[in-house]
């Protein structure tokens, strides 16, 4: 909500719509509330909400993923700009969609079809077909159902709600048997490590493993080298483009030579970081500064423990942040934008991550009243632009902390 109130959205209907969307967003800034719900909360029509969402999408502040619910109804899965998954490929987002939904192909996801209505507003099948034809394109002819069909059209099967209980995860496909089969495929673990070196896991490893198993031994080495080239290219992009699925990458043999040319001469020396180590605690503290999730950990068969692989050893200055991993955010320092402290932290974070650090909206203690539309106000938490960091100045290169900008370079 704080991010939404900090932006310039235009008229009252725009602000009301984005506030309603932000109010239903979860910790990952995902919102899949029905258009009717958003319309009720923002005090406007469903059509107006649909137009506002389209304008937010065109403005680059909201990303919309069209879902097909139970194979016959569409629904909007909205990702707000602050989400760490805003530019993530669909393979990564797929793990977060509600149960019973599938991501629609871009060609099938018409922008004006909107979100499905609630079950309480269900209409007979004949009316649904007529309304769907009017909303999503015209048909030259429309055949109405016969009387026998009309009698059954009024019967509608209940559809389970979109809200997913947190204690009911998706059932895994394949389970331990698939994992054991993947271990037996020669070269698969090398390809998997190379393809996941950017910390984006393979969405369907069982399918990709079957494609990899069908390759000859020399082709497996080539596609592994091509995967290293793909990841090396993506690591140099400021905003990486969409990443192909592993199975598609394996099938497109004609593209391998181009990616092999971009691969580093020697394979990247990966370092395993255990979940219970100081290194992981330090990296988690760094992620908190940027408002991102810590690296995803998993059980590694070779290391016989949980953790993740990174490209290089954690440097001493970054390792110093481990002591702040369990310190609450409220006890961290706030460095405001365009101050010496902010620039010192921005430079150091850039050295650690290779990416530019932008000022963020930092929430402060206290509240203020803002006007969302004439005659309507709401309480909003005070905020400033900058970073919330564990200490006033970043650590020195040797891992100790200084007291000013000059001292941090030691």
pTM of full prediction above 0.85: no
pLDDT band at 153 (very low <50, low <70, confident <90, very high): very low
Q: How far apart are alpha carbons 307 and 276 in whole angstroms?
A: 8
Query: Can you say whether the dihedral through the CA atoms of 322, 327, 329, 335 is positive or negative?
Result: negative
Is 70 exceeded by the pLDDT of residue 168? Answer: no
Span 238-254, mean pLDDT? 87
pLDDT band at 406 (very low <50, low <70, confident <90, very high): low
pLDDT the model gives residue 128: 37
pLDDT the model gives residue 172: 45
pLDDT the model gives residue 252: 92
Question: Is pLDDT larger for residue 192 or for residue 179?
Answer: 192
Nearest to 362 by CA among 344, 328, 386: 386
Q: Give the three-state DSSP class for 355.
A: coil
Question: Is pLDDT larger for residue 240 or for residue 150?
Answer: 240
Is 50 exceeded by the pLDDT of residue 258? Answer: yes
Q: How far apart are alpha carbons 50 and 36 in whole angstroms?
A: 10
pLDDT the model gives residue 316: 92
Is 90 exceeded by the pLDDT of residue 125? Answer: no
Query: Which of 134-138, 141-145, 197-201 is the most confident on average?
Result: 197-201
Lowest model confidence (mean pLDDT) among 8-22, 247-261, 304-318, 343-357:
8-22
pLDDT band at 71 (very low <50, low <70, confident <90, very high): low
Q: How far apart are alpha carbons 117 and 24 in whole angstroms?
A: 17
Nearest to 254 by CA among 226, 291, 232: 226
Is 80 exceeded by the pLDDT of residue 334? Answer: yes
pLDDT the model gives residue 268: 57
Is 90 exceeded by the pLDDT of residue 95? Answer: no
Query: Can you say whether the dihedral through the CA atoms of 230, 231, 235, 236 is positive or negative?
Result: negative
pLDDT the model gives residue 324: 94
Where do the domains of the chain lie, and which CATH numbers do they carry?
A: 2-135 (1.10.10.10), 175-268 (no CATH), 287-409 (no CATH)
Span 311-339, mean pLDDT? 91
pLDDT band at 251 (very low <50, low <70, confident <90, very high): very high
Q: How far apart are alpha carbons 162 and 172 in whole angstroms?
A: 19
pLDDT band at 405 (very low <50, low <70, confident <90, very high): low
Span 218-232, mean pLDDT? 92
Integer angstrom CA distances of residue 282 from 33, 69, 252, 401: 36, 41, 39, 15
Q: Give the three-state DSSP class for 204.
A: coil
pLDDT band at 39 (very low <50, low <70, confident <90, very high): confident
Question: Residue 298: how many CB atoms within 10 A of its CB?
Answer: 11
pLDDT band at 297 (very low <50, low <70, confident <90, very high): very high
Segment (H or E) for 31: strand 30-31
Query: Can you say whether the dihedral through the CA atoms of 271, 276, 279, 280 is positive or negative?
Result: positive
pLDDT the model gives residue 407: 56
pLDDT the model gives residue 285: 94
Span 189-198, mean pLDDT? 91
Q: How far apart are alpha carbons 374 and 183 in whole angstroms?
A: 64
Question: Is pLDDT larger for residue 142 or for residue 237?
Answer: 237
């Amino acid at each position: 909500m704080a991010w939404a109130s900090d932006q310039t959205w235009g008229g009252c209907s725009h602000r009301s719509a984005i506030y309603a969307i932000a109010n239903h967003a979860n910790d990952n800034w995902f919102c899949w509330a029905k258009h009717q719900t958003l319309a009720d909360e923002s005090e406007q029509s469903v059509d107006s909400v649909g137009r506002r969402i389209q304008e937010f999408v065109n403005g680059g502040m909201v990303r919309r993923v069209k879902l097909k619910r139970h194979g016959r109804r569409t629904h909007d899965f909205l990702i707000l700009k602050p989400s760490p998954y805003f530019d993530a490929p669909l393979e990564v987002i797929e793990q977060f969609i509600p149960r019973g939904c599938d991501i629609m192909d871009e060609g099938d996801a018409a922008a004006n079809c909107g979100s499905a209505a609630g079950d309480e507003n269900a209409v007979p099948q004949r009316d649904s077909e007529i309304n769907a034809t009017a909303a999503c394109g015209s048909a030259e002819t429309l055949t109405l159902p016969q009387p026998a069909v009309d009698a059954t059209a009024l019967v509608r099967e209940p559809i389970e709600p979109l809200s997913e209980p947190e204690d009911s995860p998706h059932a895994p496909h394949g389970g331990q048997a698939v994992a054991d089969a993947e271990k037996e495929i020669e070269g698969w673990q090398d390809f998997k490590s190379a393809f996941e070196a950017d910390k984006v896991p393979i969405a369907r490893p069982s399918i990709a493993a079957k494609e990899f198993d069908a390759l000859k031994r020399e082709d497996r080495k080539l596609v592994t080298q091509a995967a290293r080239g793909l990841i090396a290219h993506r690591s140099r992009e400021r905003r990486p483009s969409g990443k192909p699925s592993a199975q598609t990458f394996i099938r497109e043999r004609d593209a391998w030579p181009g990616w092999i040319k971009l691969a580093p001469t020697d394979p990247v020396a990966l370092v395993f970081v255990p979940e219970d180590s100081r290194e992981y605690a330090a990296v988690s503290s760094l992620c908190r500064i940027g408002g991102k999730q810590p690296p995803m950990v998993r059980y590694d068969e070779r290391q016989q423990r949980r953790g993740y692989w990174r490209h290089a050893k954690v440097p001493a200055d970054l390792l110093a942040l481990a002591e702040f991993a369990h310190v609450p955010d409220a006890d961290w320092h706030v460095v405001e934008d365009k101050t010496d402290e902010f620039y010192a932290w921005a430079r150091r974070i850039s050295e650690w991550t290779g990416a530019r650090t932008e000022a963020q909206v930092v929430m402060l203690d206290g509240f203020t009243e803002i006007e969302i539309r004439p005659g309507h106000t709401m309480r909003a938490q005070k905020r400033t632009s900058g970073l919330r960091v564990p200490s006033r100045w970043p650590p020195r290169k040797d891992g100790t902390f200084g007291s000013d900008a000059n001292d941090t370079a030691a």
